[in-house]
Amino acid sequence: MKATVIGLWALSSLFGVSKGLHDVEGSLERANESVTETSVNSGSDRSIDGAAEGVGSVEFGESAAAAVDERPGLVSLAEPAKYPFLEHLELRPLPRNALLASLQFYMQSNSFEVGKQLGSSDYSHYTVFPKSITPVMDNTQTRQLHLRFTHGLWDHENWGQLPHAGAKSGGSGVELWAVIEASSRDEAFRNWLLLTHSLSGLFCASINFIDSTKTTFPASSFQPRTDEQIPLLNSSNNLYLLRGSLANEPVCTENLTPFLKLIPTRGRQGLSTLLEGHKVFGSRWHSLSLDVSTICSKEGTCHYEMEEFIELALDVPSTLARVERPIPKPLDGSRLRCDTSKSHDSWTCFPLADSTNAKLELSKLFGRYIMDSNELSDAPSRACVKVSDNWKVLIKAGDAYFSTASNCFDVRGKKWHDIYLETDDTTNVYPVDSSPVFVTRSLTGYSQDKGGLRTVFRNPTDEPVSLVYFESLPWYMRLYLSTVKIETDDNLSLNDVIKSTYYLPARDRERPTHLEYQMTIPANTTFALTYQFDKSLLQYAEYPPDANHGFEIESAVVTVLSPFKYEFRTATLLLSLSTPDFSMPYNVIILTSTVMGLIFGTLFNMLVKRIATVEEADNMQQHSGLSAKARRIKQNLVNRLRSQKLKND
């Protein structure tokens, strides 16, 4: 609720309702103090410099270009369309009875002239591009925006690489990075805070909690693609890359609804009708991503392009079980699949693995049909299924079944559509691309005042892997870079693995620790990097409501440069800090109230009560109470009547 209120307040400032950002200014002043940093490679203050007249563009240097590649996405429209909107569905069975579903949406805004000020009688025309995004981009001078909502576990060992080479996925929780045009680093940070508050209201999330203590300026990671020409609308400004994250931030239906509202069909037509909150967030892994870019032409006109990806990995047996048994209950004994080679009866059963025969219907997995076609776009909605030869794929349109050689279908006409998959061997799936490197991270030590981090890198391939390892640690983890050690059986040294280091130490309650390694991992090699840190003491009000649960530490980011481009995150961590006894004030209040109650009760009894015999108590009871008062009143009335009668006589 707090995040929504703050976010809506920020949106009101975008539309000119409020310009006061006192809390933002206070955070900015604390972040604008002198920066102390240690950098082995160039580019420590990561402003993306560039200047040009009119609508300029910036080309990135070798260090930035090496960190990225062309990230896959929807194909842009070949020629201008009246309603530039595309949607695409891709289904791919995964090993271990899982199914990957990827829904992709592409939108493009109307063109606008750079530097043109709209008068009171002018207006902006919108077709398919969401009207809520444009003011956010304009008022914060954001040239590129990337937002990720991710939750769950992706099985790298069995499922291979992440979809789209990891370019459309984030760490567990919420992750945001953006390229902002500004005249100085201070102005860029001010616009960044306004951007986080605005997105917090748009997406019903706590993005507004990304402040200076969770913001970094990446040096080699998160760099834009080499083929992107990011416009610089003012030649005296620079471009700044900022990034922030909220580890393990809950992702739920209230975040999916804003994503659906950005789509022109609003989930009522086309492929978006499949999306239902219980199915999306009941999956083993799901990711919601939003990418907005500014594209400008040489003629001085620009437009926004937005890609929205909603992806999920369903566990097919458990999903179908929830459909069949919404209320969990044990299976009937006759339906259990027991190992007949071992003794079994009504009470004992050694279960077999899941059946390799499968007959799947998309409507049962998602609980919905694809309702009607997308009539807004010039191109029809398209659904593709990537399977091996032993799978049978059909699409059902109304009462008719169809198939194609490529297993791709155009969704046309006003009718409901369903996709049917059948195979006798679910272990035979479309080949998956294995990950070039595996990275795991864990905490070491159990002390309340210090601890350690251990990161294991494993290269299972026959060629060396070059990568950039990015880590942002909270300020209360005081890292000692001098304690970095390597553990390996291959006689490797740190200089053999780490080629360059970027290190920006934390500042209490102002900024996090920023660490980036450019590394080369030899072929068929496994090693571990370890380093130590101290745990700071927090102030009473800095602890979260459930302090004993621990503090979430965001994922590390691994960007593979060669032999091919790939990007993924490690798991988050849970750090335990020294926690005050929050129950002590409660105990003091209870004890004090009990003592005061005993003292008051004793004094009250001594003042208002006295010891009497039974006869005295009965006599007092006869002369007290309601009955005694009634008798006295009656006697007084009788006496008055008698005296009145005597006077009359």
Q: What angle do CA 213, 147, 515 make, to 5 degrees?
A: 40
What length is written for the chain? Answer: 649
Grouping H, G, I as helix, E, B as strand and the rest as coil, residue 201 is: helix
Q: Is the dihedral of CA 340, 342, 346, 352 positive or negative?
A: negative
What is the structure's pLDDT at 226?
A: 61
> Which one, of 195, 219, 213, lies nearest residue 7 by Cα?
195
Share of the chain above pLDDT 90, in %: 58
> Which one, of 488, 492, 491, 436, lies nearest residue 460 by Cα?
436
> Which one, of 229, 181, 200, lies nearest residue 58 by Cα?
229
Q: What residues does each domain of the chain span?
A: 1-17+44-73+80-114+128-325+355-386+398-433, 438-575, 588-642
Task: Please give the Cα distance from 286 to 263 (Å, whole number).
Answer: 19
Share of the chain above pLDDT 70, in %: 85
179, 180, 183, 184 alpha-carbon torsion, rounded to 10°: -70
* Cβ atoms 154, 206 nearer than 8 A: no
Residue 624 pLDDT level (bands cut at 50, 70, 90): confident
Architecture of domain 438-575 in CATH? Answer: Sandwich (2.60)
Ramachandran sector of residue 50 (left: φ over 0; alpha: ψ -120 to 50; beta: rest) = left
Ramachandran sector of residue 173 (left: φ over 0; alpha: ψ -120 to 50; beta: rest) = left
Q: DSSP letter at 338?
A: B
Strand spans (E) along 72-152: 85-94, 98-108, 112-113, 142-152
Span 531-548, pLDDT tens digits? 999 999 999 889 988 888
For the ranges 178-182, 552-556, 629-633, the lowest mean pLDDT is seen at 629-633
> Which one, of 413, 379, 377, lies nearest residue 395 by Cα?
413
Task: Please give the Cα distance from 488 to 248 (Å, whole number).
Answer: 31
Per-residue pLDDT, averaged over 410-416, amounts to: 87
Grouping H, G, I as helix, E, B as strand and the rest as coil, residue 298 is: coil
Residue type, 379: A
* Cβ atoms 149, 308 nearer than 8 A: no
Span 144-174, pLDDT tens digits? 999 999 999 999 999 999 999 999 999 999 9
Residue type, 219: A
pTM: 0.81
In 10 A of CB 305, how many CB atoms?
19
Task: Please give the Cα distance from 159 to 165 (Å, whole number).
Answer: 13
